[in-house]
Structure 1
Amino acid sequence: MWPDRRLIELFKTEFPIVLAPMAGIMDAELVIAAAQGGALGSLLCAMITAEKAREQVNIIRQRVAAPINMNFFCHKLVDADPMREAGWKKRLKSYYQELGLDHTAPVNAANRAPFDAAMCEVVEELKPEIVSFHFGLPDPALLKRVRAAGCIVIACATIVREAIWLEENGVDAIIAQGAEAGGHRGMFLTENIAEQPGTFALVPQVVDAVRVPVIATGGIADGRGIAAAFALGAAGVQIGSAYLRCPESRVTALARSALAQARDDSTVITNVMTGRPARGVANRAMREVGPICPDAPAFPHAATSLGPLKAASETLGKVDFTNLWAGQAIRLGREMPAAELTRALAGGALARLSQMAG
C-alpha cells in the first residue's frame, strides 16, 4: 500500500503518479494512455489555442473516464525588444547562412501564452478536475474563477520560499521541482538557477514547510525513484522524461533517436532555446551559443529566430536546433506503451516500498 494516500484521494486516481505536461511532444493520446494506466494525465495548454484545448479535452473525455489536469503557464508577458532581437539574429546569422536561409526574412512569433480570460472561460466550460500552473499563479481574479469551477489547483515550486507562497495563496498540492527535472524551471520568486536544489534535497524541506500534499518531480523515472520520494515525505510524483519514448508521445523519430542515445551527463540547463532556463539534451545550439547566453531575448522570444533553423536542420536529419527537453534520468526511459509503463512504475514503487517496510 502507498504510505501516503492524500494525493490518490485528492485526484481520485489509481496511482499517485502525475504525467508531466510536456510542450510540443504530447497531445490527447499520451494523456489518455497514462490515465488508462492509472496516472493523472496532464495536457499542456500553453502552446495551443482555446479551441484546440477544448477539442483535446473532449477527445480525452470520450476515450477515458478519468480525471484530467489542464496545465497553464503564468509568466509575465514581455514585449519583444527590437534591439535585442536584432542582436540575437546577428548571433545566429552564421547558422542561417550555413543552412541557406535569409536571416532578415520575417518569422512567425513563438507561441507560449500565459493563462488569460479566454483560457479561463474554457476551464469554466470544461471543468477539468485539476488545473496546474507553471511559473507561479495567475491573477487572483482568474484563480478565483478556476476555483469556482470546482477545480483542484496545483502549482510548481523550485525553492521552499515558492512553496510557502503557493500554500499561502491557496493551492491544494505543490509540485516540488528539483534541478534534475527536464523542461522549464517553474521558478517565479527567483531567477538564480545556480541556487535551485536537487529533488531529494528540495522535497523534504518543502514537506516540512507546508501542510498540503507534495508531488516530487525531477530525476524520477522508475520504481526506485518513486519509493525514494515517498521516503522523503512526498505524497506522489510527477514523471515526464520516462514517457518520452512511449509510442503515444509525439516525439519525432529524429528526436526519439537522440533521446534513446542520451546518457546521465547529456542534459544541460539552457536559456538559448526559449529565453528561459530549461533542461534538455544538449544540441549544437546549446553547446555553441550557450548553454546560458546573455544575448538571448526574454521568454519566449528567443525561440522565434530558432524556428527556421530547427525546421531546416531537421530536413537534413539533424537536431542541432531542436528542443529535446528531458531530465537527468532520461537514460531510464523505456520504449513501451504509456499505460503499461505507468503500471510498471507503480508496481516497481510498491515492491520497493514493501521491501523498505519489511
Structure 2
Amino acid sequence: MTDGKRSWVRGRLAELLGLEVPIVQGPFGGGLSSVALATAVSEGGGLGSYGGHILTPEGIGALVNELRKATARPFAVNLWVPHPDEAAAPPDRDQMARYAGLLRPWFEELGLPTAPLEEPSPAPGFAEQIDALLAAEPPVISFVMGIPEARVLDEARRRGIGTVGTATTVEEALAIEAAGMDAVVASGSDAGGHRGSFLRPVNESLVGTFSLVPQVAQAVSIPVVAAGGIADGRGIAAALTLGADGVQIGTGFLATEESGASAIHRAALHGPDAYTTVLTRAFSGRLARAIPNRFTREVLAYENELAPYPMQYTLTRPLRAAAAEHGLADYVNLWSGQAAALTRPRGARAYLDELIADTGAALRHLVPGRDSAAAP
C-alpha cells in the first residue's frame, strides 16, 4: 500500500473488476436484493450485487438489462450452486405431514391453515439460470454454496465476465482457485444469512473472518475479499491489514433504505437485539445466521427434525408472510451478521461514502502517514 490520497483503494481487486473502491455489496437472496441498492453501490465506485437464485432464466435476463440501464459501472449477479443432497428424492406424504405438524402450533397461533402438504414448487434449475446469466453477460458473476462446472467458468472467461467464488474454509478457497475463478470471498462464520460451506459440514467450517482471511490470503494467489462481521471502516482496515484485497459487506447494506428488507427486519438490525445472533435451520432448513426471536428459540428443541431445504422454506412461507404483514418480528427470518449493531438507518450511497472515509482514517491511525485524508 503506497502513500497518497485514498491509496488503499488501488489494488488487485479494484483493477480486476474495474472498481474505484474495493468494497463489494453482499448479494442477498429471497427478495432482499434490489436494483436500487446495487445501483447505488456501483455508482459510488464499489461493486453492487444482486442475489438471483430464486429468479427464472427469463427473470435473470430482465434483471441484467435493468441493472445495465441503471448503471454503466460494474455490477455482479449471484447464483447458488446446488448441493447434491438437495437434488435427492422429495419426502413422501407421511414425511411431509410430520414436517408440517411440527409447525402447527405457530400456524394456529396466527390463525393460519395448517402448513401445506404439497411438494415445493420446483426451483429454477441452476443449469438454465447460469446459461441465461452467461447469455446476458453481466460484468461479474459470483457464486455461493459451491463451484460451477468447468464449462461455466470457461464460457464466462470467453465472454469476458469476471467470476468470484465464496469459501468458508482454506480448503474451499484452494478449490475455487484451482477451478480458475478470478477472485475468492473468504466468508467467515460472522456473516449473516445462509452458510455456504460445500466441502465439509457447516459445523466443521465455522471459521471466524479474522482467522480465515490471513490463512486464505497466504494460501491462494488470486484476490481475496473478506466477508463477515465487517460493517465500518475499522473492519475494512483490519481486513486489508490481514491480507485481504477488498471486503464484502452484507448486513450493513441490508440495513440501508434501498435494500429489499422489510421495515421490521431493518428495525431489528438497528435495534438492541442485534448484538446477538444465532445459527438456525428454523426458517429454511439450511443453517443461517439471524437475530434470534421467539420462533427460533421455540423451534430449537425440534431443529434436527425439521424439513430439509427447500421444503422448510416452503412450509414456513405462509407463517413468515403473515408475520411480515402484521409487523410480528417474532416469526420473521431476521438474517443478520455479527456486526449489525454497528449499522444505523441511512441511504446506501451515504453509507458507502462513510465507509471510504472511515477506512482511510482507520489506516492513518494504524500507521500514521500511511494514507492521507480522503473524503470522497
TM-score normalised by structure 2 residue count: 0.89
Residues 1:8 and 1:104: Cα distance change in structure 2 (over 3 Å): closer
Whole-Å Cα distance in 2 between the matches of residues 197 and 345 of structure 1?
25
1:67 Cα offset (Å):
0.8
Secondary structure of 1:320's partner? helix
Count of residue pairs the alignment pairs up: 357
1:27 Cα offset (Å):
1.5
Whole-Å Cα distance in 2 between the matches of residues 277 and 184 of structure 1?
6
The residue aligned with 2:126 is 115
Secondary structure of 2:283's partner? coil
The residue aligned with 1:10 is 16
The residue aligned with 2:102 is 91
The residue aligned with 1:156 is 166
Residues 1:221 and 1:291: Cα distance change in structure 2 (over 3 Å): farther
Secondary structure of 2:284's partner? coil
Residues 1:106 and 1:60: Cα distance change in structure 2 (over 3 Å): same
1:50 to 54, 57, 78: 57
The residue aligned with 2:4 is none
Contact 1:222 1:345 in 2 (8 A): yes
1:65 Cα offset (Å):
1.1
1:224 to 234, 245, 266: 234
The residue aligned with 2:359 is 349
The residue aligned with 1:176 is 186
Q: Which runs of 5+ in 1 are unaligned?
A: none
Contact 1:72 1:114 in 2 (8 A): no
Whole-Å Cα distance in 1 between the matches of residues 38 and 72 of structure 2?
12
Secondary structure of 1:72's partner? strand
Is 2:254 aligned against 1:244? yes
The residue aligned with 1:334 is 344
Matches within 5 A, 1:122-271: 122-193=132-203, 195-263=205-273, 265-271=275-281
Whole-Å Cα distance in 2 between the matches of residues 90 and 126 of structure 1?
43
Contact 1:193 1:277 in 2 (8 A): no
Runs ≥4 residues deviating over 6 A? none
Whole-Å Cα distance in 1 between the matches of residues 267 and 277 of structure 2?
15
Whole-Å Cα distance in 2 between the matches of residues 351 and 291 of structure 1?
46
Deviations 1:292-316 (A, max 9, x none): 8111222222111101111222333
Whole-Å Cα distance in 2 between the matches of residues 292 and 40 of structure 1?
40
Whole-Å Cα distance in 1 between the matches of residues 122 and 43 of structure 2?
30
Identity of aligned residues (%): 37
Residues 1:90 and 1:293: Cα distance change in structure 2 (over 3 Å): same
Whole-Å Cα distance in 1 between the matches of residues 47 and 178 of structure 2?
25
Residues 1:313 and 1:80: Cα distance change in structure 2 (over 3 Å): same
The residue aligned with 1:41 is 48
Moved more, 97-106 or 120-129: 97-106
Moved more, 124-133 or 16-25: 124-133
The residue aligned with 1:288 is 298
- Residue type matched to 2:74 in 1? P
Contact 1:28 1:57 in 2 (8 A): no
Whole-Å Cα distance in 2 between the matches of residues 206 and 113 of structure 1?
32
1:70 to 63, 77, 80: 77
CA RMSD of aligned residues (A): 2.0
Whole-Å Cα distance in 2 between the matches of residues 337 and 9 of structure 1?
26
The residue aligned with 2:112 is 101
- Residue type matched to 1:21 in 2? P
1:219 Cα offset (Å):
0.3
Whole-Å Cα distance in 1 between the matches of residues 301 and 278 of structure 2?
7
Deviations 1:108-156 (A, max 9, x none): 836754631x223322322111111101112223332233222111111
Moved more, 17-26 or 285-294: 285-294
Whole-Å Cα distance in 2 between the matches of residues 135 and 244 of structure 1?
20
- Residue type matched to 2:225 in 1? I
Contact 1:73 1:113 in 2 (8 A): no
Secondary structure of 1:133's partner? strand
1:324 Cα offset (Å):
1.3
Contact 2:81 2:148 in 1 (8 A): yes
Q: Which runs of 5+ in 2 are unaligned?
A: 1-6, 369-376
Moved more, 256-265 or 187-196: 256-265
Residues 1:322 and 1:211: Cα distance change in structure 2 (over 3 Å): same
Whole-Å Cα distance in 1 between the matches of residues 28 and 73 of structure 2?
19
Contact 1:111 1:300 in 2 (8 A): no
Residues 1:292 and 1:327: Cα distance change in structure 2 (over 3 Å): farther
Contact 1:243 1:334 in 2 (8 A): no
Residues 1:54 and 1:101: Cα distance change in structure 2 (over 3 Å): same
